Amino acid sequence: MSLNGKTAVITGSNSGIGLGIAREMAKAGADVILNSYTDNDEDHALAAEIAKEHGVKARYIAADMSKADDCRRLIEDAGVCDILVNNAGIQHVAPIEEFPTGKWDAIIAINMSSAFHTTAAALPMMRKAGWGRVVNIASAHGLTASPYKSAYVAAKHGVVGMTKVVALETAQEPITANAICPGYVLTPLVEEQIPDTMKEYDMTRDEVVKNVLLKRQPSKEFATVEQLGGTVNFLCSDSAAQITGTTISVDGGWTAL
């Protein structure tokens, strides 16, 4: 599968899932735009590294996904957006009555509203080019719920719903919109949490992974960023041209329960 000649904008992509997706897309030949809210030398170096490794064009554009104007500017500064991967997200855990208003607002803005703004800016480019793919990185929590994650669950459910609307509005065009719903994915951020969790529960690493982190994931294995990138690439392929307005779960059976 080749994405040669396509440009992909991936939000929240200087680490973790977003960076993994960007690497897999570059490996398939896509030019990539990395993004986060920081603007460090390391951010731009990541783009240069990807460009050199895969022989594609890669840039880093700083834009704060909590701000509507920044979301739209990201797409405008990219100049072209054949593939939009809305991945940016944050998390906070607390009971509803204790959930900070500021955290609620930030999670809704970054996890859901940003996808609205980037999509609104990208669709005219896709229509002009005569082809486009919108891939929203939702979550198993876009299809089910967990306690203490009210803002995250609300935002991810909202992303799934918005994905369906975009698909219907572009149904008679060569543009598709789909959501990927990962379960737990092994990222550096998750890896960093394991030692503290081992101490908290007095468990081995394997026990923490299987009985705490992957408690709801029947496969008892993490999804990988490479698998998510491969799923994005598939949705951008000709084989997926009639897949639109749906969710693809990459969750080890979580939502089958």
- Asked if 152 is an active-site residue, the reply is yes
What six digits make up the tokens of 195?
């030692």
Catalytic position from the list 37, 60, 148, 152: 152
Over the chain, what HEC string results? CCCCCCEEEECCCCCHHHHHHHHHHHHCCCEEEEEECCCCHHHHHHHHHHHHHHCCCEEEEECCCCCHHHHHHHHHHHCCCCEEEECCCCCCCCCHHHCCHHHHHHHHHHHHHHHHHHHHHHHHHHHHHCCEEEEEECCHHHCCCCCCCHHHHHHHHHHHHHHHHHHHHCCCCCEEEEEEEECCECCHHHHHHHHHHHHHHCCCHHHHHHHHHCCCCCCCCCECHHHHHHHHHHHCCHHHCCCCCCEEEECCCHHHC
Catalytic residues: 152
